[in-house]
Amino acid sequence: MTEDYGNRGGAVRLQGATDMGSAPTTVRTHFTIGEIAREFGFTLRALRFYEEKGLIRPRRTGNRRLYSAADRQRLEIIAKCKKVGMPLDDIRDILGVGNDVANDPARSERMLDKMLTRLDALTEEKARIHDYTQEALLLIADLKAKLGRAA
């Protein structure tokens, strides 16, 4: 884990903004795929995959990916949606094409809509699993009885 907080890529120096120490404060505006992966818990493969699918469009430095604040906001949404098992296609719809995802009421509206739909699906799944469980229990009891074992 090379925590290169040096002045690579999108690093920017803010005038006068210093903290405690004497070294000039460096605020990084862009991050490498490795850093983003660690921060959000995504694998490098997943991040490249999301890019292939058009969910994010990190800028490049040569052919190295650089993730901006906007990319991170999108990733945050992706993480939340993935957490409930939402399909990537739906996540892409929520995100929309623009790269600026901050404070977008329309986006929140889309996300709410998709989330409600997802809730329905999860509720149905839960019911289905309950049914399967009951069936399995019944079959097990039946088999045990047939084998002369205690229930």
Partner DNA sequence: GTTCTGACA
Partner DNA sequence: TGTCAGAA
- Residue ranges in contact with DNA by CB under 7 A: 1-2, 32-35, 37, 43-46, 48-49, 63-65, 82, 88
Minimum CB distance to DNA, residue 24 (Å): 24
Q: How far is CA 147 from CA 49, 115, 143, 144, in A?
A: 51, 47, 6, 5
Contacts of 102 (CB under 8 A, 6+ apart): 70, 73
Nearer to DNA, 76 or 131 (CB): 76
Nearer to DNA, 49 or 132 (CB): 49
Nearer to DNA, 1 or 20 (CB): 1
Asked if 133 and 141 touch (Cβ cutoff 8 Å), the reply is no
Minimum CB distance to DNA, residue 44 (Å): 6
